[in-house]
Homo-oligomer: A and B are copies of this chain.
Amino acid sequence: MDTTGTCLHQMRATAPLVHNITNFVAMNIMANVLLAAGASPAMVHARDEVAEFAHLAQALSVNIGTPDPDWAQAMAMAAGVMAETGKPWVLDPVGVGATRFRQEICARLLDLGPGVIRGNASEILALAGIGAKGRGADAADPVEAAETAARDLARRTGGVVAVSGPVDYITDGTSAYQVANGHALMPRVTALGCSLNGVIAAFLVGQPPLPATVAALAYYGLAGERAAQAAAGPGSFQVAFLDALHALTPSDLDAGARVSRA
């Protein structure tokens, strides 16, 4: 498997155009995260242009955080283009356990073969059809509780599934990795999880999904660790986090990544 640093280098060399259909809370920070990391973000959701734009993009991230019916249709249209043209796309099933509407949207999206699904343990459990305790975007379940669900979901979709938490769990249904990078302030800043899915989408362009996802999570978590050193609270943490995403080099990542086989 390529090193995490090699994956970061490759992503920046590609500077991929990432199409995002995301929630209103994440819009701005997600674009800033992708710019800081070295990718080129675009937010496009109207049914009148979403398929045309998906043809231009190199990867797609879909986030159901603040859905409505028009947006849900646009998500399926864009993901459909990715499925047809063999380009990678990532699903973030935000709060899928909370309402039937979100479950219906995700059921439809799962049929379009997301290359990567990333969520917290409650979301992955809910998505795999196992009753979960999630309320909103919080995780009420520990990562370990979702490992079996993640493997099942990965086998069913043919993609990678990542469960975020203090130690992340990433599997393609056969192999699995753990990433121990990260910091406790990260969930105290809104939409950093959402924004991570855009970074995963960027890493997927031209790279094999499992190591690319592992590298994206290690990179993101390491930037969080760096940011925490300079932060006095969640406000200064967010600022330092964007600076760290921009400053981290491939060799920093190789030195700081805490990846192990699970």
Contact = CB atoms under 8 A, between A and B. Distances in A.
A31 to B, nearest CB: 4
Contacts of A138: 40
B17 A136 contact: yes
A189 B234 contact: no
B68 A68 contact: no
A98 B53 contact: yes
Copies in the complex: 3
Interface residues of A, number: 61
A52 B17 contact: no
A219 to B, nearest CB: 15
Contacts of A23: 43
A245 B189 CA distance: 13
Given A35-B190, A35-B234, A232-B243, 10 more contacts: A25-B31, A27-B27, A32-B235, A42-B135, A43-B66, A46-B69, A48-B101, A56-B98, A233-B246, A234-B246
